[in-house]
Amino acid sequence: MRANYKIFASVSAGIAVLDQLTKLAVTRSLHPYEAVEVVPGFFNIVYYLNKGAAFGILNQGGVLRKLFLIGVSLAALLLLAVLARQSRDRLSILAFSLVAGGAIGNLVDRIRFGSVVDFLDFHVASWHWPAFNMADSAITVGVGLVIFSYFFSRHE
């Protein structure tokens, strides 16, 4: 079980640090809501402040919204740590670690700024995906690995 915590702590911390470094680069290079076209018609780097959750859900509200989202993040982190501790499957431990690292990265933003810095902006013609960040990517990959592990790994 101790090895699980080492993996969980290392991967989670690494993801959170990577997320914060990429956001630092964006916030030092751009003004809020400024965009830089990287691949014309497909990809921009933007500096977007997301006060809500994924896709701008819960974007309205003040201190209560912020406290609610911080509370949900802390509860999720506790649950992920427990799941990682109990898991015997390395893929699941990695998955929980990715989700936790992403949650930590976004939690740091929420505490510091009251919003999350999003900067990856993909679009094709009139289709536009909501801006996201490295933490969101880690959470998405982690959830995908949890699902994969559930269906394809041996369970005891």
Q: Which is the catalytic residue, given 19, 109, 118, 121?
A: 118
Respond yes or no: is residue 118 known to be catalytic: yes
Angle at 68 between CA 62 and CA 72, to 5 degrees: 150
Q: Which is the catalytic residue, given 19, 109, 121, 136?
A: 136
For residues 4, 7, 99 and 134, what is the CA-based torsion angle, rounded to 10 degrees?
180
H helix runs in 60-133, sequence order = 63-86, 90-113
Task: Give Cβ neighbours of residue 107 (< 8 Å, ≥ 6 apart).
Answer: 70, 73, 74, 77
Respond yes or no: is residue 89 known to be catalytic: no
Query: Catalytic residue positions?
Result: 118, 136
